[in-house]
A and B are shown apart, each in its own frame.
Chain A
Amino acid sequence: IAGITQAPTSQILAAGRRMTLRCTQDMRHNAMYWYRQDLGLGLRLIHYSNTAGTTGKGEVPDGYSVSRANTDDFPLTLASAVPSQTSVYFCASSEAGVNTGELFFGEGSRLTVL
């Protein structure tokens, strides 16, 4: 089934450790996004990429980095995790240039930083 695959689905991490959340899509969408979901705050955009080779900062980019070496993959890295980064992270994609507002989401990666 076509869609977005995120890994890991769940992870417990010690503060100060480095962590990469993986995201792969097979829909050949140009645009990809990373959101974090926190109770009472909805989803907030961390970083995005409109096409391979380009990235941009969202609403809450501090402490996170991304890369977009190819169309399919959009990993999110926490260089030195802190407890405030405990959250559920969602990767999404959309067809750039087609402004439908329709994003396709993965099932999330639940991260706990202790």
Chain B
Amino acid sequence: AQSVTQLDSHVSVSEGTPVLLRCNYSSSYSPSLFWYVQHPNKGLQLLLKYTSAATLVKGINGFEAEFKKSETSFHLTKPSAHMSDAAEYFCVVRGKGGGNKLTFGTGTQLKVEL
């Protein structure tokens, strides 16, 4: 079965500094991976996705993620954090049967300080 592990439950950065949210995956096949963002008291929104094309994926709001098969990782990065980036971020893998049934990681809460 496929799964994702988010290595940090909380990350705190200063505004203007880089963001790194870590995600490792486990899959017996070539996975499709996603990052979703959830702002307080809101639903989730797709940030970016990897579906076996380019390994460096760019998303909305300046975020990007790199698929590294050798490390089974799909870390999310942003060069410079903004206060509006404070949210919870979920690493997600798609089920083997395809479609849109997704398995979510446990989430990383990003705090951005002045």
Residue tally, chain B, CB below 8 Å to A: 23
**Per-position 1/0 for A78-98, Cβ under 8 A of B:** 000000000000101010100
Knowing A40-B9, A42-B104, A44-B104, the reply to whether A99 touches B44 (Cβ < 8 A) is: no
**Interface contact A99-B43, CB-CB below 8 Å:** no
Nearest A residue to B93 by beta-carbon distance? A101
| Binary interface encoding of chain B residues 33-58 relative to chain A, with 1 for a CB under 8 A from any of its CBs, else 0 | 01000000111111001010000000
- CB proximity of B37 to chain A, nearest CB, Å: 11
Number of A-B contacts (CB under 8 A): 65
**With a CB–CB cut-off of 8 A, which chain A residues contact B94?**
99, 101
A42-B101 contact in complex given A102-B49, A107-B43, C-beta closer than 8 Å: no
Dominant SS among interface residues on chain B: loop
Do B100 and A31 touch across chains, with their CB atoms under 8 A apart? yes
| Residue of A40, A48, A101 contacting most chain B CB atoms (<10 Å) | A101
Select which of A33, A35, A50, A102 is within 8 A of B46 by beta carbon.
A102
Interface range for A:
20 to 34
A107 contacts across to B, CB distance below 8 A: 41-43
Within 8 A of B (CB), among A1-58: 4, 31, 33, 35, 40-45, 48, 50, 58
- Interface CB pairs A-B, < 8 A, 23: A4-B43, A31-B100, A33-B100, A42-B104, A42-B106, A42-B107, A43-B90, A45-B101, A45-B102, A58-B101, A92-B44, A94-B100, A99-B99, A100-B51, A101-B92, A101-B100, A102-B49, A103-B44, A103-B100, A104-B43, A107-B41, A107-B42, A108-B43
